[in-house]
Structure 1
């Protein structure tokens, strides 16, 4: 090869992309981690421009004997095949119970073939899971968290839990989630927030999440009943999935059955319209690792009433983009809802501030940059 040809070859050479495999739920499963994986999958082009080749590996759940069998007979062999075909870094997205056991099993296989790994914690109740588990599970948690090449927490509160409960000090990153479809609508949200007509909308309170005790649904119903007794009638619209019949009965028992609507699991434009038509978003969770629904509502320009825990501490700026109340404090929850319903101009101002905060901290570009920084740091560290 001539010197000229050699120079041309060097000039056109492009380093191979770092190949990252994200491991999480799929196969029809819903929830926060599944939403995170969908967001990451949609941003492959952004990662590719940064030299990162992203792939998604979806596992079956443990909801039935059949799905467990699918994990053992289909997911494990398929995972080994993917590892042997070529991947540089395995990024495990982890929650509690079945999610942990599935990822830990695959983590052991990844370590067996000496692949670099990332433990990414999405659960706000992981410490409780750890403490209430037997010695074998606790040893598995310790091995997984301490054995990974890097640990990612979805919020500052989860990072603090990992430092205090598991002694993680180095290679710990805080990377929040994204909500791209809501982010795209953020510009329209800002324009709408300044439109006086927006104040004339029916003042319903929006909730989006799983219908469980942990999401604070009982407190929300009790706060609505308390507001009734104080002379303020509001409507609640609850989006999500779960035991709808149970919570419909609870609403009747609290005397607010005719004020509560269950609108189902919303996606796409229907979900954005659900936030857009609300006066405010309320999620009085008992634990919340991050709060994707909260972020979506912020991008759409809605003030938030949440609890003083977990991801809300990163997302909501108290008194600026919304309010944070003590967990299970029905009286203060009702008071903060009243403040926003009776002061539409304040609600609009907080909504505008929420959009700005969401764009500055949780835009797709900002979050992708954080992932890329983490991947490059891990890939440049020497292996075992």
Structure 2
């Protein structure tokens, strides 16, 4: 049974703090888990108030021979030093491929030293990863998940997958992500009666993520082309990184190249401004474990059009904060974009509802509280 916790995270000052080591990507890597670790690191003070001392351990990726060699020669010795230095729990943030194999090897070392461990799944395509590999990887997956003292899913959909496919029936928690810089802007989004858009600019449809097939970029471009044929010419702004040449060619092929602009990988205030100036945020992913960009857009007060997969099912309230369409449905995507672009008052009201939903479910205080309760329960089960 999954557990959603929102209790007050503060604990008596005399209680010894729990020391938790978070293990995930770093060393220049970008992406969802790296963003999660950055958020956790930035909230060390809140965690300490909740009786938890947070440390972050960053691993090298496997993108090059140099980084591949750094894992056994640098990361493993550093990890052993961190474990011997003293930690109560080791929290592994896991995705697919190299992310899984690195964390699994470190998990085995943690078990040798008798450490409590948490398996935290961030991947929406983990079942495909399991199915496409042989028996050795499948056994490793089973050993990692079933051997952990607790399992954390980043969304309810991922929790259901772990229950149904991996047989997880106990100590399963659903803990979402945070977007603190966007959360700080949420108050302004609620107060802004204009919807936050400058009157001298043409609103656009915003997308933020990796430029890949799995993010639904083909459907998004086809939806823009379909709207053209119906007499509505919308602008599309794509923030992120990936094979830009491929998608530039696709935009030309669909006849929408003059409406599409690639704005690069945005961070900080530039990213928040990107959301703020949009009419709607659109992310038609084929799989999405959570959706940090979606949460950021919600905090800024933008309605969301997503797909009926993964984290969208938790984030988006259908017809209230946005819309969800079938995966791969460019026609449905076009209809929902048109519906909101032609009804700015409705889009603004959905954006206000999105802010309220984000604040109630995914504020830093709410998420830190859920982590802290999970850690106390796992640590309290020692010797049970």
Is the pair's TM-score, using the shorter chain for normalization, greater than 0.5? Answer: yes
Which has a greater percent of helix?
1
Number of residue pairs the alignment of both structures matches = 372
Contact 1:199–1:345 (8 Å) recurs in 2: no
- The question of 1:234 aligning with 2:203 is answered no
CA shift in 2, pair 1:383/1:115, >3 Å = farther
- 1:291 paired residue number: 291
- 2:106 paired residue number: 106
Q: CA deviation at 1:199?
A: 7.9
- 1:122 paired residue number: 122
- The question of 1:195 aligning with 2:188 is answered no
- 2:138 paired residue number: 138
| Distance in 2 of aligned mates of 1:254 and 1:40 | 41
- The question of 1:381 aligning with 2:372 is answered no
Cα-to-partner distance string for 1:105-137 (whole Å, 9 max, x where unaligned): 000000000000000000000001001111000
Cα-to-partner distance string for 1:149-189 (whole Å, 9 max, x where unaligned): 00000000000000000000110000000000000000111
- 1:40 paired residue number: 40
Contact 1:199–1:344 (8 Å) recurs in 2: no
- The question of 1:177 aligning with 2:159 is answered no
- 1:79 paired residue number: 79
Quick check: which has more Rg, 1 or 2? 1
Query: What secondary structure, in the 3-state scheme, does the structure 2 residue paired with 1:78 have?
Result: helix
Shift >2 Å, 4+ stretches: 12-16, 195-201
| Distance in 2 of aligned mates of 1:137 and 1:78 | 25
Where does 1:259-338 land on structure 2 (aligned, <5 Å)? 259-338=259-338
| Distance in 2 of aligned mates of 1:208 and 1:286 | 15
Query: What secondary structure, in the 3-state scheme, does the structure 2 residue paired with 1:279 have?
Result: strand
| Distance in 2 of aligned mates of 1:57 and 1:197 | 38
Question: More displaced, 320-329 or 183-192?
Answer: 183-192
Contact 1:88–1:116 (8 Å) recurs in 2: yes
Contact 2:91–2:119 (8 Å) recurs in 1: yes
Q: CA deviation at 1:203?
A: 2.0
- 2:15 paired residue number: 15
Cα-to-partner distance string for 1:249-296 (whole Å, 9 max, x where unaligned): 110011001110000000000000000000000000000000000000
RMSD over equivalenced CA pairs, Å: 1.3
- The question of 1:92 aligning with 2:92 is answered yes
| Distance in 1 of aligned mates of 2:195 and 2:279 | 13
- 1:339 paired residue number: 339
Higher relative contact order by CA 8 Å / sep ≥ 6: 1 or 2? 2
Q: CA deviation at 1:13?
A: 8.2
| Distance in 2 of aligned mates of 1:197 and 1:281 | 14
| Distance in 2 of aligned mates of 1:294 and 1:273 | 14
Contact 2:92–2:103 (8 Å) recurs in 1: yes
Q: CA deviation at 1:196?
A: 6.9
| Distance in 2 of aligned mates of 1:146 and 1:373 | 21
- 1:7 paired residue number: none
| Distance in 2 of aligned mates of 1:87 and 1:276 | 41
- Report the TM-score, using the length of structure 1 for normalisation: 0.95
| Distance in 1 of aligned mates of 2:224 and 2:194 | 28
Contact 2:237–2:261 (8 Å) recurs in 1: yes
| Distance in 1 of aligned mates of 2:230 and 2:145 | 49
Q: CA deviation at 1:15?
A: 3.0
| Distance in 1 of aligned mates of 2:220 and 2:93 | 30
- 1:369 paired residue number: 369
The runs of 5 or more residues in structure 2 that have no matched partner are: 1-11
| Distance in 1 of aligned mates of 2:147 and 2:361 | 29
| Distance in 2 of aligned mates of 1:202 and 1:195 | 14
- Report the TM-score, using the length of structure 2 for normalisation: 0.95
Q: CA deviation at 1:195?
A: 2.2
| Distance in 1 of aligned mates of 2:259 and 2:142 | 47
